[in-house]
Amino acid sequence: MPLPGSRKMWGGDEERDLTRHVRDLRVRWAGREVSIPLSAFADLGQPDSMTIAVLGSQSAVVLIKGGEESTGYVARLLLERGVLKRRRVSLRGFEREFWEETRYSGPVETN
């Protein structure tokens, strides 16, 4: 069954409705769940793979790849100290030319 509004999602095109999307994303950092808003992943259609790469003791990136051949994308969710800081989604093959980025403030640390 096609997803409503799927032609406007990452991975969609004007001719074909998408049938899959990322509808839930849960990440645990140091034993607790990271707060990831729905807006960080709800527009990612036709997901193919998801991996987590640790960038050091304080940061990691969640990589989500998906879409069709001509509409493939790579989404990168950057986590720093267990907080989502940035999301960057780009068109595969044209990652420097076609992309969007969102920055998140996250919770305020009190120490």
Predicted pLDDT at 88: 96
Burial of 13: CB neighbours in 10 Å, binned 0-12, 13-18, 19+:
middle
Predicted pLDDT at 111: 43
Residue among 42, 32, 58, 59 nearest 4 (CA):
42
Evaluate the CA torsion angle 54, 49, 77, 111 in order and state its sign: negative
Query: Which comes out higher in pLDDT, residue 27 or 78?
Result: 78
Query: Which comes out higher in pLDDT, residue 15 or 71?
Result: 71
Give SS3 for 8.
Answer: helix
**pLDDT tens for residues 6-33?**
556 666 666 666 677 788 888 888 888 8
- Mean residue pLDDT of the chain comes to 82
Does the pLDDT value for residue 2 go beyond 80?
no
What's this model's pTM, rounded to 2 decimal places? 0.81
Sequence-distant (6+) residues with CB within 8 A of 43 are 8, 9, 10, 21
